[in-house]
Amino acid sequence: MLKSYFTVKAQGHAEIEIQKSRFIGHVKRVESEEEAQAFIQEIKKEHDQATHNCSAYMIGEHDQIQRANDDGEPSGTAGVPILEVLKKKGLKDTCIVVTRYFGGIKLGAGGLIRAYSNATSEVLKQTGLVERKLMKEVTITVDYGLLGKVENELRQAHYLINTIDYLEHVHFQVQIEVDRLDPFKSWITDLTHAQVNITINGESYLELPVDSQ
């Protein structure tokens, strides 16, 4: 699993107009080529009267799956520009469909490339991007005498506390970046003078919003 990567927040759409043509960008986070193709077909069905529904997607930890489709636009003027925006922004598991309703004015190859690139950038901006960080889920258990000190130090060090359970002992459920796990264990052990029990529960991704400009 990747320690961190960037992707789209969820699903969204945005529209721009260029030379009387409407360009509607649609984006969705996808985890398989089948899911990407289903999304593309969904948009094509929704906009079956459109002139074009061009698409591109990147899927996989190492971008193993990359596809681009011009859907009738001149070769290389639609799908590839969409894909290039995804590459430039370093997005994974992301599918884009840009729907075009022709407005009667031809844009030329350069104009089409800019239009599809701009529509892609706009829908990503409007929908939002996230960084997914791989986190270790850790339980630290201390006696009540250490409750105030441990909670204060955790918050001051900006560790993410999910829950605090007040049972026979105090249990802090904390999320730690995978690269910071060993330093964290040393830190909390020193802080409590080794009066702590540390349990590693598993790992999951934490999503943090990022600037999509």
Q: What is the mean pLDDT of residues 80-90?
A: 98
* Residue 37 sits in the same domain as residue 50: yes
Are the beta carbons of 21 and 78 closer than 8 angstroms? no
- Boundary of a domain, candidates 107, 127, 147: 127
- Boundary of a domain, candidates 64, 95, 127: 127
* Residue 123 sits in the same domain as residue 137: no
* Residue 72 sits in the same domain as residue 12: yes
* Residue 135 sits in the same domain as residue 155: yes
* Residues in a beta bridge with 18: 21
* Residue 65 sits in the same domain as residue 168: no
- The amino acid at residue 139 is T
For position 1, what pLDDT does the model report? 87
Convert the pLDDT of each residue in 180-201 to its tens digit. Answer: 999 999 999 999 999 999 999 9
- Distance (Å, rounded) from C-alpha 177 to C-alpha 204? 10
* Residue 62 sits in the same domain as residue 121: yes
| Threshold 0.85, pTM exceeds | yes
* Residue 54 sits in the same domain as residue 9: yes
Helical (H) or strand (E) element with 157: none
* Residue 116 sits in the same domain as residue 160: no
* Residue 97 sits in the same domain as residue 113: yes
- Distance (Å, rounded) from C-alpha 171 to C-alpha 157? 18
Q: Which residues contact 109 (CB under 8 A, 6 or more apart)?
A: 74, 76, 77
Convert the pLDDT of each residue in 127-169 to its tens digit. Answer: 999 999 999 999 999 999 999 999 999 999 999 999 999 999 9
Whether residue 212 has pLDDT greater than 90 = no
- Boundary of a domain, candidates 71, 92, 127: 127
* Residue 150 sits in the same domain as residue 97: no
Average of per-residue pLDDT values in the chain: 96
Q: Is 3 helix (H, G, I), strand (E, B) or coil?
A: coil
Whether residue 204 has pLDDT greater than 90 = yes
Q: What is the mean pLDDT of residues 2-25?
A: 96
Q: What is the mean pLDDT of residues 81-108?
A: 97
Whether residue 213 has pLDDT greater than 70 = no
- Range of the structural domain that residue 146 is part of: 131-210
Number of compact structural domains in the chain? 2
* Residue 157 sits in the same domain as residue 98: no
Whether residue 211 has pLDDT greater than 80 = no
The CATH number assigned to the domain holding 80 equals 3.30.230.30
Burial of 154 per CB tally in 10 Å (0-12, 13-18, 19+): buried
The CATH number assigned to the domain holding 180 equals 3.30.70.240
